[in-house]
A and B are shown apart, each in its own frame.
Chain A
Amino acid sequence: MMHRREWIIRESGSAGKIVGRGILLVASLLSLTLAANAQETSGVTPSTSAGSVIKGKAPVAKKLLTVRFPRPKSFTLSNGLAVYVLEDHRMPAVRLRLMMRAGSLYEPKPGVAETTAAMLTEGTEKRSYLQLAEVTADMGASLFASAGADTATISASGLSETTDTLIGLMAEVLMHPSFPSDRLDRIKYQQASQVAQRRSNPAALTADLSARVYYGGTPYSLPSPKAAEIEALTTADLTAFHAARYRPNGALLGVSGDVDLNHLKKSLEAALADWKPGAQTVDLPAADFKPHETTRIYLVDRPNSAQTVLQFGNLSVRQNDPDYIPLVVANRILGGGSSGRLFQNIREQKGYTYGAYSNLPAGRWPAVWGASASVRTPVTEPAVREFFREFDRLQDESVPAEELEQAKRSIIGSFAGTLENPDGILGRTLELVQNGMPLDYWDTYPAHIQAVTAEDVQRVARKYLGKDRIQLIAVGERAQIEEGLKKFGPVEEVDASELGGVGGGRGGGRRR
Chain B
Amino acid sequence: MNHTSQRFATVGALAAMLCIGGFCQADPPSSAVKVPQIKFTDYRLSNGLRVILSVDHAAPVVAVSVTYDVGSRNEREGRTGFAHLFEHMMFQGSQNVGKGEHMLLIQDNGGTMNGTTNQDRTNYFETVPANQLDLALFLESDRMRSLDISQANLDNQRAVVQEEKRQSYDNQPYGGMSEALQGLAYSSFGYRHTTIGSMADLNAATLEDVRNFFKTYYAPNNACIAIVGDFNEGEAKKKVEKYFGSIPRQQPPPVPDLTEAPLNGEKRKLLSDPLARLTRYEMAFKTVSGDNPDYYALSMLSSILSGGRTGRLNSDVVEKRLALNANAGVQAGRGPGLFSFSGTLSPDGNVEELEKAFDAEIARIQKDGVTDAEIQRARTQARARALVGFGGGGRGGGGFGGGLQTVLGRANALSQNAIFYNDPGRINTQLQRMEAVTAADVKRVANQYLKRDNRVVVVVVPDSDPGMEWTGDVWAQDGKGSH
Contacts and interface: CB of A to CB of B under 8 A. Distances in A.
A138 B3 contact: no
Contacts of A146: none
Contacts of A140: 18, 380-381, 383-385, 388, 390
Contacts of A344: 100
B59 A416 contact: yes
A9 B171 contact: no
A10 interface: yes
B330 A5 contact: no
A351 B331 contact: no
Contacts of A59: 134-135, 138
Given A58-B96, A304-B275, A92 B387 contact: yes
Contacts of A137: 307-310, 377, 380-381
B347 interface: yes
Find the residue from A339, A353, A354 having the highest chain B CB count within 10 A: A354
A340 B114 CA distance: 16
B60 A67 contact: yes
A374 interface: yes
Interface string B360-396: 0000000000000000110011011101111111110
Interface string B129-170: 111101100110010000000000001111111111011101
B243 to A, nearest CB: 10
A18 B8 contact: no
A133 B309 contact: yes
A144 to B, nearest CB: 11
A20 interface: yes
Interface of B: 3-4, 7-8, 10-11, 14-15, 18-22, 36, 56-61, 72, 84, 87-88, 91, 93, 96-101, 103-105, 107-120, 127, 129-132, 134-135, 138-139, 142, 155-164, 166-168, 170-171, 173, 178, 181, 195-196, 274-278, 299, 302, 307-310, 315, 319, 321, 324, 327, 329-331, 333, 338, 340, 346-347, 376-377, 380-381, 383-385, 387-395, 399-403, 405-409, 463
Interface string A10-22: 1111001111111
B378 to A, nearest CB: 9
A307 B171 contact: yes
A283 B162 CA distance: 48
Interface stretch (A205-213, A357-365, A385-393, A406-414): A406-414
A5 B195 contact: yes
A197 to B, nearest CB: 4
Contact of B402 (A16, A22, A407, A410): A22
A295 interface: no
Nearest to A408: B108
13 contacts: A6-B116, A7-B116, A7-B117, A12-B103, A52-B103, A61-B135, A137-B307, A138-B380, A140-B380, A189-B346, A309-B171, A376-B166, A417-B129
Contacts of B409: 20
Closest 5 CB pairs of A and B: A413-B110, A140-B384, A351-B159, A53-B98, A52-B100
A24 B310 contact: no
A61 B131 contact: yes
A307 B160 CA distance: 13
A180 interface: no
Contacts of B60: 30, 32, 65, 67, 416, 419
Contact of A194 (B112, B324, B381): B324
B104 A417 contact: no
Contact of B20 (A21, A89, A135): A135
A176 interface: no
Contact of B394 (A1, A25, A197): A1
A83 B277 CA distance: 45
Contacts of A11: 91, 103, 113-115
Interface stretch (A157-165, A244-252, A504-512): A157-165
Given A189-B321, A416-B60, A20 B402 contact: yes
Given A16-B112, A138-B20, A306-B171, A413 B61 contact: no
A305 interface: yes
Contacts of B321: 189
Contacts of A352: 159, 163
Contacts of B401: 20
Given A7-B118, A24-B405, A307-B171, A419 B61 contact: yes
Given A21-B389, A339-B103, A410 B10 contact: no
B20 A139 contact: yes
A235 interface: no
Contacts of A133: 308-310
Given A25-B58, A92-B11, A141-B384, A65 B406 contact: no
B420 to A, nearest CB: 13
Contacts of B21: 138
A2 interface: yes
A193 B119 contact: no
Given A65-B60, A375-B163, A20 B405 contact: yes
A263 interface: no
B58 A16 contact: no
Contact of A417 (B59, B131, B164, B400): B59
The winner among A6, A200, A376, A414 for most chain B CB atoms within 10 A is: A6
A9 B88 contact: yes
Contacts of A58: 96-97, 101, 105, 135, 138-139, 142
For the side of the interface on A, what is the size category? Answer: 35 or more
A420 B407 CA distance: 8
A142 interface: yes
A164 to B, nearest CB: 12
Given A61-B132, A416-B110, A21 B18 contact: no
B191 to A, nearest CB: 9
A60 B98 contact: no
Contacts of B105: 44, 58, 60
Interface string A54-97: 11011111011101000000000000000000000111110000
Contacts of A303: 274
Contacts of B56: 24
B388 A157 contact: yes
B66 to A, nearest CB: 15
A194 B277 CA distance: 9
Nearest to B243: A59
Contact of B388 (A158, A353, A354, A419): A158
Contacts of A55: 96-98, 101
- Max chain A Cβ within 10 angstroms of own Cβ: one of B110, B115, B377: B110
A69 B56 CA distance: 19
Nearest to B403: A20
A134 B160 contact: no
B395 to A, nearest CB: 7
Contacts of A7: 72, 84, 116-118, 195-196
Contacts of A20: 389, 392-393, 401-403, 405-406, 409
A162 to B, nearest CB: 7
A503 to B, nearest CB: 14
Contacts of B160: 347-348, 351, 353-354
Given A21-B389, A27-B57, 15 more contacts: A1-B329, A7-B195, A9-B87, A12-B113, A22-B405, A61-B135, A65-B60, A89-B8, A137-B380, A159-B388, A353-B163, A410-B110, A412-B110, A416-B110, A420-B61
Contacts of B274: 303-304
Contact of B166 (A8, A24, A351, A374): A374
Contacts of A201: 173
Given A5-B119, A20-B402, A159-B14, A338 B57 contact: no
B58 A420 contact: yes
Interface string A117-161: 000000000000110011101111110000000000000011111
B310 A130 contact: yes
Contact of B163 (A10, A160, A351): A351
A413 B407 contact: no
Contacts of A12: 103, 107, 112-114
